[in-house]
Structure 1
Amino acid sequence: MKTRAFLRLICLGCVCGLMHAVGPTPVTAQEVEWRLDYGKARQEAEKKNRPLVIDVGTEHCHFCKQLDLRTFKDPAVVALLNDRCIPLKIDADQHPKLAEALRVEYYPTLVFATAEGKILGYQQGFIEAGALHERLTKLFFTSAVAGGGPNPSHDIEEAKRAMAVGDYPRALALLKPVAETAKDAAVQKQARQILQDLEQQAAGRCAEAKQLVESGKVPQAVETVTELVRVYPGTKAAREGGQLLVTLASRVVPHENARTQVARELLEQAREDYQRRQYLSCLDRC
């Protein structure tokens, strides 16, 4: 039973690790705070000076559901939509005229617009979380010309508050755009310093996991790495941790296969003992 539980832990860790090895991981308890009223969403966008991200789909659209189940579950995407956009969801079956006015002909379609409602672009069909995050990041700063854009200093303060309560995925999502594209050199430097500190924290957890592996404490190492890729998504250490999980899995599975083979051989011998009426030997092998 302990071996099976350990294998389940390995499998869970590998899923997280592989996701972070190739891109953002879609696991979070946080949800996108979708608005459902177009008029109110427009008013809120103008009041808060945030761009609009409009998800237009239908109830029976397969890839619309995939967006909800995968892309819109990613921690970085969720944080970006909730903290820096006004996310609006529209059912085209219920609001066909609105979908037509937005020039949407294919589902799902994401519509990107400024706070004033000027459409900046479209995304037709399914899109992975990493690609959407990159496009939204560019959207913020291109829309800054028309609508004033985000406030990098405010984002840094929001990131600090998120870190104070242990919400590192949100902090990372807020800090990375500032560190990459902020025009204020001092603000950009501050964001990069905080990101560097987070990278060092993540690297420390990764080093701890490697020490556990060297000490033969593989289950504890798996737990440490799984926590690493969950808490510090997108960091270099998280990607390295993902590769480490894959390596650990390759070590454990062959070992488990060998144990299974031994168990089968013992069971076969027990059957032979039973047929010979050698009951004590049969019980010993079982």
Structure 2
Amino acid sequence: MMFKNPWLIFLQASFFVLILRSPLTGFEHHQSPVNFLEYTQSVIQNNQSRQKPFFLLFSAEWCHWCKILETKTLKNERVYSFLNQNFINVFIDADIHTGVYLRYNAKGYPFTVFLNPDATVYFKYPGVLYAE
């Protein structure tokens, strides 16, 4: 058996190793200090009786900027303490819940929506919100 091109084999092997060593997910909300509820169709309705505003975070596994939001903002103690004390935090995987993403006229990732306690939209923001 003869190898066609040793450089090609080396490049393919290197690429394979890089893929295995790379994180394949974007924002890991399960490991976040923000207490996120996983989005379901009834999560907002079921939590309205708590009389707290909602923080909705739309993200996607492949999203680079979602990872930046996680490391630069959501892991900041002031931010996650404030969110956990004052909001009902809901994580929404935009690749799975595309209808919800479209319902809020979302543009880009990450996409943040703040809802009033009655679930009306208070504020929407495309992109990374920094702790400052």
TM-score with structure 1 length normalisation?
0.34
Choose which of 26, 32, 35 in structure 2 pairs with 1:33: 35
Q: What letter corresponds to residue 49 of structure 2 in structure 1?
A: K
Choose which of 51, 54, 79 in structure 2 pairs with 1:52: 54
User: 1:126 matched to which residue of 2?
Assistant: 128
Alignment of 1:214-253 (within 5 A): none
**CA offset at residue 71 of structure 1?**
0.3
Q: Distance in 2 between matches of 1:115 and 1:98?
A: 18
* Structure 2 contact 44–119 (Cα < 8 Å) conserved: no
* Structure 1 contact 42–115 (Cα < 8 Å) conserved: no
TM-score with structure 2 length normalisation?
0.71
The percentage of aligned residue pairs carrying the same residue is 25
- The one of the two structures with greater contact order (alpha-carbon pairs below 8 A, sep at least 6) is 2
Paired residue secondary structure (1:53): strand
Choose which of 92, 96, 99 in structure 2 pairs with 1:97: 99
**CA offset at residue 37 of structure 1?**
2.4
User: 2:25 matched to which residue of 1?
Assistant: none
**CA offset at residue 107 of structure 1?**
0.9
The structure having more radius of gyration, on CA atoms, is 1
Structure 2 runs not aligned, ≥5 long: 1-31
Alignment of 1:187-226 (within 5 A): none
Q: Aligned residue pairs: how many?
A: 100
Q: Distance in 2 between matches of 1:56 and 1:66?
A: 14
* Structure 2 contact 112–124 (Cα < 8 Å) conserved: yes
Higher normalized strand content (fraction of residues): 2
Q: Distance in 2 between matches of 1:70 and 1:54?
A: 18
Give RMSD over aligned pairs.
Answer: 1.4
Q: Distance in 1 between matches of 2:111 and 2:39?
A: 17
Structure 1 runs not aligned, ≥5 long: 1-29, 131-286
Q: What letter corresponds to residue 123 of structure 1 in structure 2?
A: Y
Deviation readout 1:195-239 (Å, 9 max, x if unpaired): xxxxxxxxxxxxxxxxxxxxxxxxxxxxxxxxxxxxxxxxxxxxx
